[in-house]
Amino acid sequence: MELLQNYLRTWLWGALALFLLAPQGVFASSHREAPLIANDPLADNTDVYAFRSPDDPNTITLIANYIPAELPFGGPNYNTFGEDIRYEIHIDNDVNSPGDDIIYRATFQQVNEDTTTFFNIRLGLQNLKTTYTLERSIDGGNTFQVIVSNGMVPPTNIGARSIESPVGLGASSYEALIQQSIATASTGETVFCGPVDDPFYVDLGGIFDLGNSPRQGTNIMRDGVAKTNVHSIVIKVPISTLQKDGKAVSQATDILDGDFVIGVWASASRRQIRTLGVGEVNDSGAWVQVSRLGMPLTNEAVIPIGEKDEWNARTPYNENPAHFEYFYNPELALYMDDDLFGTAVPAFNALRIQRSSLGVFDFGNGQDGLFVLKGNPALNGTALDDAVFGTLLLPDSAKPRSVDIWPAFHTGVPNFPPYQLATGKNGNPLAAGKPFVNNFLPNGGDMLRLNMATPVTDRNDPNFSSLGLIQAAVLGLTDPAFASNANLQFIPNMDGFPNGRRLEDDVTRIELQAVAGVVLAAIGLWYDDFNPNDPNASPVTNQLINVLQYSTGVEANDTTFRSTFPYVQSPWRGTEVGK
């Protein structure tokens, strides 16, 4: 332990201090992520969030956003939730029960109060006035109970004349409409449905210009969805409602209690048959899922374009096993490897995966990673031991990222060796180290997995970071307050992505760093330029520093987040935002 700990407790803290204090960036998830759903924006999931409520830590806040890139000035026909769509948030809380355990289903109704005008709002009347019914199932979807009836959806924030003036709605403010729309469900949940600022932010133009993020040869970066809106379903739920045995969080055995792990995903479904008549649309037949979202960026940047529509139609419980290969050998890793196509994407030059970690382990696409140890006693008692979790995390050769990318997206990460920080491992990455995550729920596939027992990081804490678990790992490896021992203790940002997802979390940067192998490094599988045979070598090498410094170039949302429910911010006003 001495070599690693000496460096991690002394000058390594200084070497990484800049990263702890540096401003952080953000990118979120799936806008127009598949060919078919791109033509059906009202049913298009854009983002899913699940986090322990910062101002109410006995609750979890679930957010599902729909309708990408709404223009605030998009009249005369403004966006709102679709009448013929089932919007659902799904929760899995028990590995022993197949499929969902809890489902929240929202359906929306609209009325035109004044059909004599082309305006959306006039003289106190609304066209496309929208209300909703919220139902809850606690038996996996077999039965549903109505928990909110006639819930109010605020109108689009068109402008002052439409919202506040006496010839419009005559509201005191748009904020007053938001507050009036917050409902309390008959079963105790707090609910808001309506238009909000889109918390997603990224240089979309750069990212999808063959990975040109940060843009090369220019200092110009552009948040592709700045000053656009989405429609959000926000539900704040008591932890005791979501926990499989009805336990309050005060009953957790510790801050990584595995009995408090949930999986969260969202979907939209339409009727199977649509017929068009003169001025009318009729929907009939069975309900068919047309969109889903769990982990951010899965369908956008992991699943190839020819299979995106199939992925959207499936659930986490019936995924196509052929798609697993895209996690074992992610396409993005090809552009972080100079032996493959790394030189073709210069923006990712700082992101390089381990091809010879500790001089032995090759995590390049098509290589064996830790599978070279299969059958070796070194794996005994670890999560990679067949006797522990079977072949779940080390299924075969030529699947190098089955040990890191795969669990992050598909199983969650257990608090079990080797998935602990290198602190306390004495240079052996397979040994027990300092715990920092447990959201293991190997039931189903792509979902956000959240350990509800993990405490909240105060948003005003100087250690709060949009880098989520990446920053928790840095602190756990370098800050003397945490790196001086291998005990379980709360490290700021242990409640961050991919342990759930907070609004502030920079999921794009985190995922790109993860593909570049930063999680492997955190557990002691250091980058290639670390020499394990040199007693004076530091694991904080140039490659690690490069990965930690990487940024997409867009590093802040275009507005703030609320400190209280519904946490997302008011939608942009049409008269205050130009093209």
Type of residue found at 149: S
Q: How confident is the model at residue 212 (pLDDT cuts 50, 70, 90)?
A: confident
Residue 159: pLDDT over 50: yes
* Confidence label for 178 from pLDDT (cuts 50, 70 and 90): very high
Task: Quote the pLDDT of residue 34.
Answer: 64
Reading the block at residue 157, the tokens are 């924030």
Residue 118 pLDDT greater than 70, yes or no: yes
In 3-state terms, what secondary structure has residue 91? strand
d(CA 62, CA 193): 12
Pairing mode of beta strands 145-152, 125-126: unpaired
Give the model confidence (pLDDT) of 129-152 as tens digits. Answer: 999 999 999 999 999 999 999 999
Segment 267-288 shows an average pLDDT of 91
- Is 22 a residue whose pLDDT tops 80? no
Q: What is the mean pLDDT of the chain?
A: 91
Torsion-angle region of residue 297: left (phi > 0), alpha (psi -120 to 50) or beta? left
3-state secondary structure 362-429: CCCCCCCHHHHHCCCHHHCCCCCCHHHHCCCCCCCCCCHHHHCHHHHHHHCCCCCCCCCECCCCCCCC
**Over residues 450-468, mean pLDDT:** 97
Residues 6 or more apart whose CB falls under 8 angstroms from that of 319 comprise 311, 445, 446
pLDDT at residue number 10: 38
What is the residue-wise DSSP string for 149-170? EEEE-PPP---HHHHTSTTTT-
CA–CA distance, 186 with 2 (Å, rounded to integer): 57
Q: What is the pTM of this model?
A: 0.92
What sign results for the dihedral spanned by CA atoms 17, 15, 256, 404?
Answer: positive
Q: Are 575 and 159 contacting, i.e. CB atoms less than 8 angstroms apart? A: yes
Cα–Cα distance between 120 and 122 in angstroms, integer? 7
List the one residue out of 264, 261, 268 whose CA is nearest residue 453: 261
If you average pLDDT over residues 365-371, what whole number do you get?
Answer: 98
Res 462 pLDDT > 60? yes
Q: Which of helix, strand or coil describes residue 20?
A: helix
CB atoms within 10 A of CB 475: 23
Phi-psi label, residue 487: left if phi above 0, alpha if psi -120 to 50, beta otherwise: beta
pLDDT in tens, 39-69: 889 999 999 999 999 999 999 999 999 999 8
- Please tell me the distance from the alpha carbon of residue 547 to that of residue 354, in angstroms, as a whole number: 12
Element (H, E) at 309: helix 308-313
Cα separation values, 21 from 14, 214, 326, Å: 11, 21, 34
Residues of 159-194 as b/e, b for ≥16 C-beta within 10 angstroms? Answer: beebbbeeebbebeebeebbeebbbebeeebbbbbb
